[in-house]
């Protein structure tokens, strides 16, 4: 049924870069046979899933939205894919994204735009616009995204879906094409909070192949979602982050946010205001740390090891000139912009002024969170300052695009978990997201509060 739906709508939505229909149908048939034989299967067995194209999948093309990886077929599976396959979820295909996950609109994909199913003239968010659009358009009930600065939560917000960025280290990064290694996390994109909890429990947990993986069991996420759905939040302290509201937030976004806070209060929670004074500098710190790490991670795309290889049309064919020709042809403008920024910020003489300072700001932001979580069990804010903007509207203005990440980035800098849950429609008739943040390793709180709002 989902493959039929993809057939019917994906020429308009363009959520998918590759559809693995034969493999999906085979997995579905296998699961049916195992179930018929009386085998006890995972609760998500047989439920189809779409995968952001930054996750490596054995035998299926994996491009990370870039020309430089066109035609590359990975020889292995990411850990989270192994877990998905083992549980018997049919993989429908790979979803569109901004090139190497750099962007907030999916317009930086080398393979064309994805359209927001709510209004095809608008962006589906980014970088994981394909996964969110696939779920919103009922092409897939579940999807995987990755979130380095908001790329699961912001697309969730603007497409009316649920998106979760887990605690850093709680879902293995093994087999994710790295953007910024100290910030990257994979997580669920779904239509309900309970679905996200089920998927998060499946893909999460310790993995010795990721050196930053937390070697502890996950808290009970499904249990927390079920408990939250009962709607009683008595005793829970909710903190409104002063710096993540007000000026710059669309009126309808703020109005829906306030209504949901009132609902949480009605469910028994107490509401306090908290201040995180260094959040003002989060965006600036992120846009130094992320390009620095990305410039280093992307050095491996050199025309020798993976995918595209371009030889210079004239002059000697030296290794350096092949690298330069390949990277010149294979990377898009946004990737080049960030590689140049990151290389500059890391260079001798500038390192302390830029990268070093940004790391200090990162520590201050972590301390802001520590203090805020003394006063509150969870923090809340709108996920993004506006609803989905029009395709093309911010494409030539990188700073305006970066500003869209103002509310999502602090969580990545601190490694804490966050969820975006649908928060009704703004006055323009477009979906709004409600963000909930919790301390590291307390991802269960996201599900409890998220399910109570649903």
Chain residues in the site for ligand GLN (CB under 6 A): 101-104, 127, 147-151, 179, 290, 405
Reply yes or no on whether 211 is catalytic.
Answer: no
DSSP 264-321: HHHTT-EEEEE--GGGGGHHHHHHHHHHHHHHHHGGG-SSSSSS-----SSS---HHH
Cβ proximity to ligand GLN: between 47 and 183 the closer is 183
* Residue 173 CB, nearest approach to ligand GLN (Å): 13
* Residue 103 CB, nearest approach to ligand GLN (Å): 5
- Distance, C-alpha 8 to centroid of its chain: 26
Neighbours of 206 (CB within 10 A): 14
Reply yes or no on whether 260 is catalytic.
Answer: no
Cβ proximity to ligand GLN: between 20 and 387 the closer is 387
Cα distance between residue 201 and residue 30, in whole Å: 23
Cβ proximity to ligand GLN: between 214 and 406 the closer is 406
Cα distance between residue 113 and residue 10, in whole Å: 12
Cα distance between residue 288 and residue 345, in whole Å: 7
* Residue 280 CB, nearest approach to ligand GLN (Å): 18
| The one catalytic residue among 52, 94, 165, 394 | 52
* Residue 107 CB, nearest approach to ligand GLN (Å): 11
* Residue 412 CB, nearest approach to ligand GLN (Å): 7
Cβ proximity to ligand GLN: between 3 and 409 the closer is 409
Cβ proximity to ligand GLN: between 102 and 378 the closer is 102
Which pair of structure tokens corresponds to residue 344? 């500059």
Cα distance between residue 195 and residue 188, in whole Å: 8
Give helix then strand counts, H and E, for the chain. Answer: 15, 11
Which pair of structure tokens corresponds to residue 278? 């260094």
| The one catalytic residue among 104, 105, 131, 151 | 151
* Residue 9 CB, nearest approach to ligand GLN (Å): 25
Residue indicated by tokens 């409890």? 448
With CB atoms as reference, the residue minimizing the distance to ligand GLN is 151
CB 66 within 8 A of CB 78: no
| The one catalytic residue among 20, 105, 109, 127 | 127
* Residue 29 CB, nearest approach to ligand GLN (Å): 35
Q: How many CA atoms lie within 13 A of 297 on its CB side?
A: 19
Beta strands in 130-206 (DSSP E): 142-147, 162-165, 185-190
According to DSSP, the residues that pair with 49 across neighbouring strands are: 91, 142
Cβ proximity to ligand GLN: between 108 and 445 the closer is 108
Reply yes or no on whether 151 is catalytic.
Answer: yes
Cβ proximity to ligand GLN: between 103 and 433 the closer is 103
The closest alpha carbon to 192, from 236, 213, 162, 170, belongs to 162
CB 161 within 8 A of CB 191: yes
Cα distance between residue 200 and residue 222, in whole Å: 9
Cα distance between residue 310 and residue 183, in whole Å: 31
Give me the active site residues, please: 52, 127, 151
């Amino acid at each position: 049924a989902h493959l039929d739906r993809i057939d019917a709508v994906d020429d308009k939505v363009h959520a998918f870069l590759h559809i693995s229909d034969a493999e999906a149908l085979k997995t579905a048939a296998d699961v049916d046979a195992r179930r018929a034989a009386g085998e006890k299967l995972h609760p998500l067995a047989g439920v189809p899933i779409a995968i952001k194209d930054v996750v490596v999948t054995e035998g299926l093309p994996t491009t990370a939205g870039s020309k430089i990886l066109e035609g590359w077929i990975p020889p292995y599976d990411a850990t989270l894919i192994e877990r998905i396959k083992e549980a018997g979820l049919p993989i429908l295909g790979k979803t569109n994204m901004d090139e190497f996950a750099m962007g907030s609109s999916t317009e930086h994909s080398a393979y064309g735009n994805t359209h927001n199913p709510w209004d095809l003239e608008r962006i589906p968010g980014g970088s994981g616009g394909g996964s969110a659009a696939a779920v919103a358009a009922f092409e897939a009930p579940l999807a995987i995204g990755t979130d380095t600065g908001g790329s699961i939560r912001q697309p969730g917000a603007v497409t009316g879906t649920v998106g979760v960025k887990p605690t850093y280290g709680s879902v293995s990064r093994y087999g994710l094409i790295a953007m910024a290694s100290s910030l990257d996390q994979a997580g669920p994109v779904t239509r309900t909070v309970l679905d996200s909890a089920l998927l998060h429990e499946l893909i999460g947990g310790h993995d010795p192949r990721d050196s930053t993986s937390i070697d502890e069991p996950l808290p009970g996420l499904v249990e927390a979602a079920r408990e939250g759905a009962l709607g009683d939040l008595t005793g829970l302290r909710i903190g409104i982050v002063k710096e993540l509201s007000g000026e710059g937030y669309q009126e309808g976004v703020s109005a829906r946010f306030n209504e949901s806070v009132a609902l949480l209060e009605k469910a028994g929670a107490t509401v306090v205001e908290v201040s995180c004074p260094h959040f003002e500098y989060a965006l600036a710190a992120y846009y130094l740390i992320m390009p620095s790490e990305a410039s280093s991670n992307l050095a491996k795309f050199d025309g020798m090891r993976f995918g595209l290889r371009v030889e210079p049309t004239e002059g000697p064919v030296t290794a350096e000139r092949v690298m330069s020709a390949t990277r010149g042809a294979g990377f898009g403008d946004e990737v080049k912009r960030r590689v140049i920024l990151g290389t500059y910020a890391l260079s001798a003489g500038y390192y302390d002024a830029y990268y070093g300072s940004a790391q200090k700001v990162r520590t201050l932001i972590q301390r802001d969170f520590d203090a805020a979580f003394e006063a509150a069990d969870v923090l809340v804010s709108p996920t993004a300052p506006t609803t989905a903007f029009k395709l093309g509207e911010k494409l030539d203005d990188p700073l305006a695009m970066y500003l869209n990440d103002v509310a999502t980035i602090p969580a990545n800098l601190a490694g804490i978990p966050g969820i975006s849950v649908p928060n009704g429609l703004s006055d323009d008739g477009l979906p709004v997201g409600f963000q909930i943040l919790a301390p590291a390793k307390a991802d269960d709180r996201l599900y409890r509060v998220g399910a109570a709002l649903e």
